[in-house]
Chains A and B, each alone.
Chain A
Amino acid sequence: MIRHMVALLFMVSVYGNTSLADSNDHAGKQTYDMWCGHCHEPSTGPHPGTQMLTLSRGSEFALIKGNDNLQAEYIRTVVRRGLGMMPALRKTEISDEHLNALILYLKSEE
């Protein structure tokens, strides 16, 4: 948890500026919609990632959006290395900058 907080604080400091934070929110949501949502939106039928996480972690932890259980470094590792049936996503697909924005978006209340 501490590691998660540190990572989050670091990102908040990086994106502390309001306009930068706004554009970062936008980039985070865009990245989520493009690369994550098709598998990780609610409802298990059409969303393979949600189905898998429901099975392996339980329904309370099945979504990646707003899931306090997921630490920033863990998200980063899964995105870059893949997990189970989820293939890795390359830097030519999600840049490091957009990955940071995605992590903030996943943690946000939006």
Chain B
Amino acid sequence: MILPPGLTESEFKDAASAFRKIVGKEWVFTGRDLESYEDPYPVISKESSRSSIAVAPANVQQVQAILKVANEYGYPLWPISTGKNLTFGGASPAMTGTGILDLKRMNRVLEVDEEAGYALVEPGVSYFDLYNYLQENNIKLWIDPPSPGWGSPMGNTLERGMGYTPYGDHLMVQCGMEVVLADGDIVRTGMGGVSDSKTWQLFKYGFGPYVDGIFTQSNYGVVTKMGVWLMPEPPGFRPYMVTFPNEDDLEQIIEILRPLRLNTLIPNAAVCCNNLLDLAVKKTRSEIYSGKGRIPPSVHKKINEEHKLGMWNFFGALYGTQSLMNLQWEYLREAFSQVPGAKFYSAEDRKGDAGFEYRAQAMSGVPHLTEFSVLNWYGSGGGHIDMVLLSPVKGKHAVTQYNMQRDYNRDAGFDYLGEFIIGWRDMHHVNFMIYNQTDLESRKAVYELYERVTVDSGKLGYAPYRTHAKFQNLVRDQFDYNDYSMNRLQQTLKYSLDPKGILAPGKAGIWPEQYKDQAKGRIA
């Protein structure tokens, strides 16, 4: 039996019995039922991602009661909303044996205000749920799903995830939370601090210190309600694609993109991806090349011709009236034409192209699972862990990061399949590290690759913004300014808000006192 460190079997049994009294025996899971909470794409082993119990409350009162029991027994719990953070460990905890607080049953869309453009949701509401709700009720608002869109607005926002519409920065469009603190107290943030507030989902900042951010990527509370702003359906939508022929075009592409994005001529979180990432949605590696090692330039040339791809491919969209979009398109076309050999494609031109169509869906707020196809790149058993490094929107930084990761991927025996998601002031550089999760050597190789990229990028002043459950310490250690003062502050908050250390030990490399032996080095 796997238990959290320090918990005896007898304490486990008593706590499990107390949990059953709160939620009913059918909503407390042990034994083989816990397999569904393990890391779907383990980078170490399935065993290390195991939990000891899962408890699924139906409402806020049950969450409070569960936390009371957890405090009494010192039982650590890892809260999940829908547990679809798949590339970063899924529902699995950082510390083996931690219990799961599964909030999926709390799945109500509590409010949608079409005029004001927001929704108030519970943790278990998925992007598909919210999308279906809006469609069924003929509400002309868009959601902003990540890709793939299997997760939840709450879970993705709390991880500070991205989507692809103009509302792509999810924390930016979050407004108001309800949080159950470790001691069971309920706090409503922002304007929610006012009883019967009329502006909870309208104004983010409230009065006094703004606290919403401390409940993201953290272990300070359990978020049970969250407001999310939704984009009004625009009068027109026009997705497009621009292909660029050469690998060396990257620097110029990013230099062109920066002013366009800063001035919102590119209004959404648009994407520049390499040819293999786009191709991997439609083909497996063995279908284009049977050899091992680096894919030769002649093969790149052939697939680019066959699939109308460039070595780099930009996917963007225009939103608005036809006349407005016509004007914007003229300007964008002129800007991108500075790159010799740039080719332009509309939705009509790419009809039937799964790679284009799923990106068009994402940029218009339609959830899909198409991007999972990239996991088939090497055949069956595909797993992936995303290295998401932040970069300035500047060509030389993009080239530095790309060259390093392309070469490191090759050294580890993997192809580089990657993209730059263009934000207002930064880019999320996503390196899809795809590996064979059923092969120990492949898992070891990807683990070491992730560590190598993280550490060497850190030396250059870059770091990921989010990571896998087992890499929380590693990424925390890149934030080393002033002898890790940020982590000291985060630890201080932890000791104050969760003195018994029951919530998500190890999240963001923040550990309670009793597990401090796990705060250094690799998480077991």
B339 contacts partner chain A, Cβ-Cβ < 8 Å: no
Provided the pairs A81-B36, A84-B382 are in contact, do residues A92 and B373 lie with their beta carbons within 8 angstroms?
A: no
In the assembled complex, the Cα of A87 lies from the Cα of B370 at a distance in Å of 15
Q: Which of A56, A88, A90 contacts B380 (CB 8 A)?
A: A56
Q: Are B35 and A80 in contact (CB under 8 A)?
A: yes
Q: Is there an interface contact between A51 and B358, defined as CB atoms closer than 8 Å?
A: no
CA of A47 to CA of B372, assembled, Å: 8
Pair A85/B369 contact, Cβ less than 8 Å: no
Query: What is the number of contacts between chain A and chain B, taking CB atoms within 8 Å?
Result: 92
Number of interface residues of A (CB under 8 A): 26
Q: B281 — which chain A residues lie within 8 A by C-beta?
A: 45
Which residues on A sit within 8 Å (CB–CB) of B354?
A: 45-46
A92 → B minimal CB distance (Å): 4
**Please, what's the 1-or-0 string for A21-52, where 1 marks a CB less than 8 Å from any CB in chain B?**
00000000000001000110000111111011
Q: Is the CB of B373 within 8 A of A48?
A: yes
Interface string of B123-157 (1 = CB under 8 A from A): 01000100000000000000000000010000000
With contacts A45-B354, A46-B354, A90-B83 known, is A38 near B35, CB below 8 A? no
Contact code string A82-99 (vs B, CB < 8 Å = 1, else 0): 101111111111000000
Known: A34-B128, A46-B368. A85 touches B36 (CB 8 A): no
- Contact check, A52 vs B380: say whether CB atoms are below 8 A apart: yes
- Chain B residues with CB under 8 A of A85: 40-41, 372, 375-376, 381-383
Given A38-B368, A82-B36, A90-B37, CB of A48 within 8 Å of CB of B376: yes
Interface band, chain B: 35 or more
B102 contacts which chain A residues (CB < 8 A)?
A: 90, 92
Within residues 57 to 110 of chain A, which ones have a CB less than 8 A from any CB in chain B?
Answer: 80-82, 84-93
Contact status B40-A88, CB under 8 Å = yes
Q: Is the CB of A48 within 8 A of B40?
A: no
A80 to B40, CA, bound (A): 12
Which residues of chain B are near A44, meaning CB under 8 Å? 282, 373
**In the complex, chain B residues whose CB is within 8 Å of the CB of A55:** 284, 376, 379-380
Contacting pair A87 B382 (CB below 8 A): no
Interface residue? B60 (CB, 8 A): no
Provide the residues of chain A in CB contact with B368, threshold 8 Å. 38, 46
Complex alpha-carbon distance, A77 and B339, angstroms: 52
Q: What distance in Å separates the Cβ of B448 from its nearest Cβ neighbour in chain A?
A: 22
Could you list 10 examples of A-B contacts with CB < 8 Å? A39-B369, A45-B282, A46-B354, A48-B375, A56-B380, A80-B35, A86-B40, A90-B54, A90-B91, A93-B104
